[in-house]
Chains A and B, each alone.
Chain A
Amino acid sequence: MKVKRTEDDPSAETRTDGGSGQFDWRGETTTQISRWDRYKEIYEERIYKPALVAWDDSRTRWGSLILLFYVLIALVALLDLWRFPATSQAARWMQPWPWGSLAYPLGTTKSGTDLAALLIHSTPYILILVTAGAIWATGIAVFVGTVSGYKGGTVDSVLMSVSDFFMAIPGLPLVIVLAVAFSPENPVFVGVIITINYWAGLGRSLRSQVLTIRENNYVEAARTMGTSTPRIIFKDVLPNLMPYVTVNAVFAARYTIFASVGLYFLGVLPYKIQNWGVTLNLAYNSAALFNVDYAYYLIIPMLAIMLLSFGFILLGQGLDRVFNPRVRTRMAGETESTVEDDDEDTGFTEVM
């Protein structure tokens, strides 16, 4: 039976979990708190305070709003609130709204397809692809980085040789060869293939952080007490890495957009719905490249890509601040001390 500790019940602190009202001589339960309180504390420490710090930064605010905007667009597509793209559904080469008709706000393509419909209906696909790529790349990197950094010895050298090997292969050519071999259409699978060797660099930089963390007293204490390795990694090592991992997941997402749209642009990935990359490729191969009047056909899919990645970059830069524990407590209104530190370096450079 669990004892609920409430503000108006001061005796609750010394009650036994048997609930019999006897005094707890061994003092076993003095530190025991109810599940509710624990969840509340976890919520405070892990979600509320970081969210407060993050939200205070205008970059995070704008970044989240941009991503929310894309999620809403994806919902519009999923709920079928906008017409489906089809050739010759309107006149060809219609200009976007202020110059053209409001019925086709982003204009129409060379073949008379609604450009807005093209962008809207490929958003869910792109978002799934990006999420899959980011989760896969960071997941593998966290696994390799923590295990290899914590275990050391043979495990370390084997894992590091593997990641060195993946770092030695130039990313895109391998991805393209794999894309031709498997011709993947499932967005999750595409995301996984695209980040097939992106995790290696991140895994390496996580490893070097773990090398410092594992020398901490509490990790050593846990080890002396005979705590199992997976438990130490989950309970003692990983929480220290979480902010860094979050920031890098955002960068991995940005890489996945760049690479996937690039490959769709090249035309090496198969597709069912014309996504931004395919649209960009069609625009590149149309008269839009020579004619300023048709330039909107090139610019609009570009803007879709750039705004999404800009959202991710803003979010990544803003989340950086969650790193700093001093800023965090000050924001939550617990202390009013300390100067505001500037954003720290993430240590892992963005590529492409």
Chain B
Amino acid sequence: MLNYLTKRTARVFVTIWAVATLSFGLIRLLPGGPFTQLRIQLLRQGLPAEQVEERIRNLQNIRPDAPLWQQYLDYMGALVQGNLGVSIRLDEPVVEVVANAAPWTIFVVTVSTILVFAIGISIGALQAYWEGSRFDKFFTGLSMGALSVPFYVLAVILLFIFAYNLGWFPTSGRYDHSIENVWSLAYLVSVLRHAALPIAAYSLGAAGGQALAMRGNSIQVLGEDYVEVARLRGLSDSRIATRYVGRNAILPMYTGFLLLLGFRLGGTIILEQIFTYQGLGLRLFQALNQNDYPLMMGTFLVITVVLVLGVYVADLTYSRIDPRISQGDEGEAY
């Protein structure tokens, strides 16, 4: 177990390092490279030519005239110290911009992911329990229908109906700016009201997918011999449902959960743009449109770090539930 923990923790650092290196390389792929665009912008802002190089260095922690390996070391060195450079458009340190945006994205993604699994698992389990019933058929159809609606289409539909036409929910933003006191109930309500539509749009389709997966797993587990034995032993139905069927049906969904988390964090870039919800995704999108490379790479890096940490926590929890994981499944090499 301890060995597994060390290995797993080491992998977190290796992954973050690899992604940082990738982001260093990606800046160089972008049209005009990291400096051309910036140089033009700074000159246009009326900055004297000799100060331009100095500014670029401050903004991106990179000396443009240094050799590539020197630039790489400078970039990584600054990252280790928590310095992501300065946003060109906002003229603020990237770290501050990101720190302001990240909690909102994490809030939306976490709540919607919990909802996805809560809804998916309970409906899927009931469907398996009443397999072949009208309830089962109805929800199978509904799940398949929900799966074919992309979340951004659902987002636009919800926005059209509930925000623009009925006016029940706000059309954009994270909270009501007229509320001064952050610790008041009114503030909390306005936060929830602003997040309701993005969360709903982000949860419904994915919940359909999880319900189908849970239904399939549960039906398979219900046919196992140990469930039959448990019945013969006279165990109560609720105990069989939770301990025997539920647990074994949920465990295989774990890998899917990890994948889902990654795609969901990435998907916020579309979701937040539709609702103008000022989180990491919207920041990344704006930075991209404005050629704000430091902010762009900073948000990209932070989204990845959030994902890596999320998967790390999930992995450790899972290895507590299912001991087979931490023992490793190293096979013989052929």
Interface residues in chain A, defined as those with a beta carbon under 8 Å from any beta carbon in chain B = 150-156, 164-165, 167-174, 176-178, 180-183, 201, 204-205, 211, 214, 223, 229, 254, 257-258, 261-263, 265-266, 268, 280, 284, 289-290, 292, 295, 298, 302, 305-307, 309-310, 312-314, 317, 342-352
Asked if B300 and A173 sit within 8 Å, CB to CB, the answer is yes
Question: Residues of B contacting A343 with CB < 8 Å?
Answer: 216
Could you give 21 example pairs across A and B, Cβ below 8 Å? A152-B331, A155-B333, A156-B331, A170-B307, A173-B266, A176-B288, A177-B29, A177-B30, A211-B329, A263-B270, A266-B273, A266-B285, A284-B156, A284-B274, A298-B156, A302-B157, A306-B148, A344-B216, A346-B216, A349-B213, A349-B257
Known: A177-B296, A295-B160. A167 touches B258 (CB 8 A): yes
Closest to A59 in B: B144
Question: Residues of A contacting B263 with CB < 8 Å?
Answer: 170-172, 351-352
Question: Residues of B contacting A292 with CB < 8 Å?
Answer: 165
Among B48-56, B81-89, B238-246, B248-256, the one that faces the other chain is: B248-256
Question: B118 on the interface (CB 8 Å rule)?
Answer: no
Asked if B30 and A181 sit within 8 Å, CB to CB, the answer is yes
Asked if B15 and A164 sit within 8 Å, CB to CB, the answer is yes
Asked if B334 and A223 sit within 8 Å, CB to CB, the answer is yes
Interface positions, chain B 202-249, Cβ under 8 Å from A, are: 205-206, 209-210, 212-213, 216-217, 219-220
Q: How far is the CA of A233 from the CA of B263 in the complex (A)?
A: 31
Asked if A168 and B159 sit within 8 Å, CB to CB, the answer is no
Question: Residues of B contacting A151 with CB < 8 Å?
Answer: 333-334
Question: Residues of A contacting B219 with CB < 8 Å?
Answer: 342
Asked if B216 and A345 sit within 8 Å, CB to CB, the answer is yes
Q: How far is the CA of A262 from the CA of B285 in the complex (A)?
A: 13
Interface flags, B143-158, vs A, CB<8A=1, else 0: 0110111111100110
Question: Residues of A contacting B156 with CB < 8 Å?
Answer: 280, 284, 289, 298, 302
Question: B303 on the interface (CB 8 Å rule)?
Answer: yes
Partner of B333, one of A153, A164, A205, A223: A153
Question: Residues of B contacting A312 with CB < 8 Å?
Answer: 148
Interface of A: prevailing SS: helix
Partner of B148, one of A223, A310, A346: A310
Asked if B259 and A349 sit within 8 Å, CB to CB, the answer is yes
Question: Residues of A contacting B147 with CB < 8 Å?
Answer: 254, 309, 313, 350
Asked if A173 and B30 sit within 8 Å, CB to CB, the answer is no
Q: How far is the CA of A342 from the CA of B219 in the complex (A)?
A: 8
Question: Residues of A contacting B151 with CB < 8 Å?
Answer: 352
Partner of A176, one of B19, B213, B269, B333: B269
Known: A164-B15, A168-B19, A306-B153. A352 touches B267 (CB 8 A): yes
Question: Residues of B contacting A178 with CB < 8 Å?
Answer: 26, 29
Interface residues on B, range: 35 or more
Q: How far is the CA of A174 from the CA of B288 in the complex (A)?
A: 12
Asked if A167 and B259 sit within 8 Å, CB to CB, the answer is yes
Nearest CB of A to B60, in Å: 16
Asked if B333 and A180 sit within 8 Å, CB to CB, the answer is no
Please give me the 6 A-B residue pairs with the lowest Cβ-Cβ distance, nearest first: A153-B333, A349-B256, A345-B216, A170-B266, A172-B266, A310-B148
Question: Residues of A contacting B91 with CB < 8 Å?
Answer: none
Question: Residues of A contacting B300 with CB < 8 Å?
Answer: 173-174, 177
Q: How far is the CA of A266 from the CA of B210 in the complex (A)?
A: 27
* Known A289-B160, A302-B157, A309-B147; further 17 A-B contacts with Cβ < 8 A: A153-B334, A154-B333, A165-B18, A168-B15, A173-B300, A173-B303, A178-B29, A180-B31, A266-B273, A266-B285, A284-B274, A307-B148, A313-B147, A317-B212, A345-B220, A351-B259, A351-B260
Q: How far is the CA of A309 from the CA of B147 in the complex (A)?
A: 8
Known: A172-B267, A177-B26. A289 touches B164 (CB 8 A): yes
Question: Residues of A contacting B94 with CB < 8 Å?
Answer: none
Question: Residues of A contacting B210 with CB < 8 Å?
Answer: 349
